[in-house]
Amino acid sequence: MTDLNADVVVVGAGNAACCAALSAREQGASVIVLERAPESLRGGNTAYTAGAMRVAFGGSSDIEQLVPDLSAQEKATTDFGRYPKDQFLDDLARVTDYQCDPDLAEILVENSFPTLQWMRQKGVRFAPIYGRQAFKQDGLFKFWGGLVIEAVGGGLGLIAALYSALEQSGIDVFYEADVNTVERDDNGISALHARIGGKQTVIHAGAVVLACGGFQANPQWRTRYLGPGWETVKVRGTPFNTGDGIRMATEIGAATRGNWSGCHAVAWERNAPEFGDLAVGDGFQKHSYPFGIMINANGDRFVDEGADFRNYTYAKYGREVLAQPGQFAWQIFDQKVAHLLRDEYRIKQVTKVSADSLEALSVKLDDVDAERFRSTVAEYNQAVDDDIPFDPNVLDGRSTRGLVLNKSNWANRLDEPPYEAYAVTCGITFTFGGLRINTAGQVMGTDLSPINGLFAAGEIVGGLFYFNYPGGSGLTNGSVFGRIAGREAGLFAKGSKI
């Protein structure tokens, strides 16, 4: 292949990368996108998500701007509530133990709604998350946890829409493009070296946007930075996010930032494959644990399943599962809450057992101390406070009393058979450590000054998420900072000052 030339070269091809490419093109820049995966596996981690996007909004009128095709019946039977900017900021600060960069956090929140509006103009369609984020009560759907909107068709639908926009904008995507080196001269970034279709190629660029993910698919880096045991976890998404973008940038002097020992990790089907399966998508996740209990191999509970809405706990509870004996757990439910379980519990690829009695269930739980499990459930049932009514739409305060580890909300006795149990392990989504950027998306050098012509967005960036994150913030983060990085890269390449 002959050498390639473009004003802006985007490395990666997920949500953040596509938004960067589209935004750079709006500045009049010529743009090419380099995707490491084959076309059949394009889209990075985005393709494996459910497409939920956290956005600040003032009420139903804002949602109707994003979803203009809401029917009259949907409007009449839905209470979207509101999710103001200050609440989004508070949630982001709270779940990250107030470690998140305040400037990046403010940009994320302030730009969340206008960025989704911009994406709509590019052909992305949104819909309310009725199936996973709302329960019907007295004939009215009520949303909880600040998460209301998802891309139509989930992650694959989002990617399809973005790729259609790339094509309409005249942006070429090169598949099986393995970028291995970034060149930097006295003026900034000058070129990339990549193997494209098996041939070494030089790509000359006016500016580069790195949007090729974290290092979650690299078991060596996971063990080095996250710690022992992390080499064994399941990877929820693409096998191609191995940290090469971070490596290439640091080799030319880029600074790193963020929670390098932290990551987004969830309860994931115990027998799922090593990497994500696009045919299953996010169906291997198991996020209805707030309505039941989780027990480990010893037969003990190990987390407060009802500590908060699952949006604010699921991304950190994968780590808790990994820390258990054998690196697995079982989630237990009875029929009082079976109808509340998300659709992911009904896929074929699930490790499930059921029984008409707790005693019968106890011997079906592989690798679990059956006797201790029965004692744990008995103690838990006795500790449930029935005086507070159960309400899945709010933090209902229905708790246990007197246990070493109490459940704070949604505590129901396990006493209505048949009982259902699902085996889970840890599934890693993305890593929290990455490159240091400024508010214009420029990658900063170790001297804390911008590296001319180098930008970054998405999961490759560190400094925003620490220890945990509010559900749906990842895609919004990629879209917001992808748009910013692409815009500024386009301006830089065309000779305008940032």
470 — phi, psi (to 5°)?
-75, 130
Closest to 118 measured CA to CA, from 80, 160, 66: 66
Angle between helices 15-26 and 154-168 (to 10 degrees): 20
pLDDT of residue 395 exceeding 90, the answer is yes
Average pLDDT value for the chain:
96
Is the Cβ–Cβ distance between 407 and 304 less than 8 Å? yes
The three-state (H, E, C) secondary structure of 19-47, written as one string: HHHHHHHHCCCCEEEECCCCHHHCCHHHH
**pLDDT for res 134:** 83
Tell me the pTM. Answer: 0.95
Question: How sure is the predictor about 10, in pLDDT bands with cuts at 50, 70 and 90?
Answer: very high
DSSP category for residue 441: -
**pLDDT for res 136:** 83
What does the alpha-carbon distance between residue 403 and residue 419 come to, in Å, rounded to a whole number?
22
Question: How sure is the predictor about 115, in pLDDT bands with cuts at 50, 70 and 90?
Answer: very high
pLDDT of residue 324 exceeding 70, the answer is yes
Cβ atoms < 10 Å from Cβ of 50:
22
DSSP strand pairing (199-210 vs 188-196): antiparallel
Q: Which residues contact 121 (CB under 8 A, 6 or more apart)?
A: none
**pLDDT for res 498:** 47
* CATH class label, 4-215+432-493: alpha beta
Angle between helices 102-121 and 85-95 (to 10 degrees): 130
What does the alpha-carbon distance between residue 126 and residue 50 come to, in Å, rounded to a whole number?
12
Q: What is the mean pLDDT of residues 75-96?
A: 95
Q: What is the mean pLDDT of residues 183-194?
A: 94
Cβ density class 337-366: b for 16+ within 10 Å, e for less: bbeebbebbeeeebbebebeebeebbeebe
Tens digits of residue pLDDT in 401-455: 999 999 999 999 999 999 999 999 999 999 999 999 999 999 999 999 999 999 9
Q: What is the mean pLDDT of residues 159-176?
A: 98
**pLDDT for res 139:** 85
Closest to 267 measured CA to CA, from 227, 323, 189: 323
pLDDT of residue 73 exceeding 70, the answer is yes
Is the Cβ–Cβ distance between 354 and 421 less than 8 Å? yes
Q: What percent of the chain has pLDDT over 70?
A: 99
Higher pLDDT, 133 or 385: 385
Tens digits of residue pLDDT in 25-53: 999 999 999 999 999 999 999 999 999 99
Is the Cβ–Cβ distance between 265 and 315 less than 8 Å? yes
pLDDT of residue 14 exceeding 80, the answer is yes
What does the alpha-carbon distance between residue 311 and residue 41 come to, in Å, rounded to a whole number?
27
Q: What percent of the chain has pLDDT over 90?
A: 94
Q: Where along the chain do its domains lie? A: 4-215+432-493, 265-427
Tens digits of residue pLDDT in 485-496: 999 999 999 986
What does the alpha-carbon distance between residue 322 and residue 230 come to, in Å, rounded to a whole number?
8
CATH, domain 265-427, list 3.30.70.1290, 3.90.700.10, 3.40.50.300, 3.20.20.70: 3.90.700.10
Q: What is the mean pLDDT of residues 328-340?
A: 97
